Amino acid sequence: MQSRINKIFKAIADPTRREIFHVLVLATTALSITQIAGQFNISRQGITKHIMLLHDAGMLEIESIGREKYCQANLSALNEIRDWLAFYDKFWDESLKNLQDFLDTKNS
Amino acid sequence: MQSRINKIFKAIADPTRREIFHVLVLATTALSITQIAGQFNISRQGITKHIMLLHDAGMLEIESIGREKYCQANLSALNEIRDWLAFYDKFWDESLKNLQDFLDTKNS
DNA sequence: AATTATAGCAACCAAATGGTTGCTTAAAAA
DNA sequence: TTTTTAAGCAACCATTTGGTTGCTATAATT
C-alpha cells in the first residue's frame, strides 16, 4: 500500500487537482461533484476521478446527501506536507553556515 | 512551459526522487551520479533521469568536475512549497472557527 | 407515473512516466 | 598508450495517468 504522504504528493502533483482543492478551500459551502465539474473544462467523470484521488489522500471530505455528494477541502491534510518539510529545517542552518564560511574566506 | 511550483510538485511526487533528494541533503559532501546510483537498486541511467528532473525543478545543483558531475541538494527550493502552503494559512482560522461553532452547538 | 438530474461503472484511448539495455564519448588511471 | 571509469544518447518497454464516451442506477421534480 501507498503511504499517506505519497498519496498526498501524488494528489497535488497534478495542477487540475490543486485547482479543485483550491476551489474547495475558497468555497464557503461544500460543493457537489457537478458543481465542481462546472468550474472546469473537463467531463464530470474526469473530475470524479480527481476527486476520488484527493479523497483517498485525505485532502477532502465527502458527504452524501440524497443523490448528491458534497465535497469539502480538508486543510489539515496539508500538515503532512509541513511535517515533511520540517525535517529539512535543521539542515537549513548548516547551509547558511556554509555560505557564511564562504563569505568569511573571501574577506580574509 | 511548466511553472516552477508544478515542476517541484512533480519532482517530489515520486518516492525515489524524494529519496535521492533526502540522500543529498544528508550527505556532507556533493555526490557524483554513480555515487548516488550506488545507493539505489536502479540503473545509473534511471537515476540520471531522476536527477535531471530534480535539477530541472531547481531542487539540486550540478557541478561538472572532469568527467564527473557532482550533485548537491538545493534546500531553498523547498521555500516554493512553503509559499504554496502559506496561502492556505488564512483559511485555518475559519476552519477552526467552524469547529468551535460546532462544539458550541453541541454544548448548548 | 413520467421525466430529469446526479452520480457510478466500465471500457477505452493517447500520452506521460519510470524503468531498462546497448552503444558512444571522453576523462583518468595503469 | 591502453584500459578503466563516468556519463550521455537513444531506442525500447510496460504501467500509470488523465482524459473520454456510453450506459446504468437512483433520487428529485413535474
Domain of A90, CATH number, reads: 1.10.10.10
ipTM rounded to 2 decimals: 0.88
In B13-77, where does DSSP find H-type helix?
15-26, 33-37, 44-56
For chain A, say whether B16 makes contact (Cβ under 8 Å): no
How many interface pairs between A and B have CB atoms less than 8 angstroms apart? 36
Compute the average pLDDT of residues B60-87.
97
**Which residue, among A54, A15, A12, A14, has the nearest Cα to A33 in the 3D structure?**
A54
- Judged by CB atoms closer than 8 Å, whether chains meet at B95 and A78 is answered as no
What's chain B's average pLDDT? Answer: 90
Q: Which residue has the higher pLDDT, B95 or B93?
A: B93
Out of A9, A78, A95, closest to residue B85 by CB: A78
| Spatial distance between the Cα atoms of B60 and B12, rounded to a whole number of angstroms | 12
| Spatial distance between the Cα atoms of A91 and A89, rounded to a whole number of angstroms | 5
Rounded distance in angstroms from the CA atom of residue B43 to the C1' atom of nucleotide D30: 66
Domain of residue B61: give its range: 4-106
Q: Which of residues 19-48 of B touch strand D (CB under 7 A)?
A: 32-35, 44-45, 48
Q: Name the residue closest to C27, CA to C1'.
A: B67
B55 C-beta less than 7 Å away from strand C: no
**Count of structural domains, chain B:** 1
Query: What is the model's pLDDT at position B2?
Result: 87
| Spatial distance between the Cα atoms of A13 and A9, rounded to a whole number of angstroms | 6
Give the percent of chain A with pLDDT over 70: 84
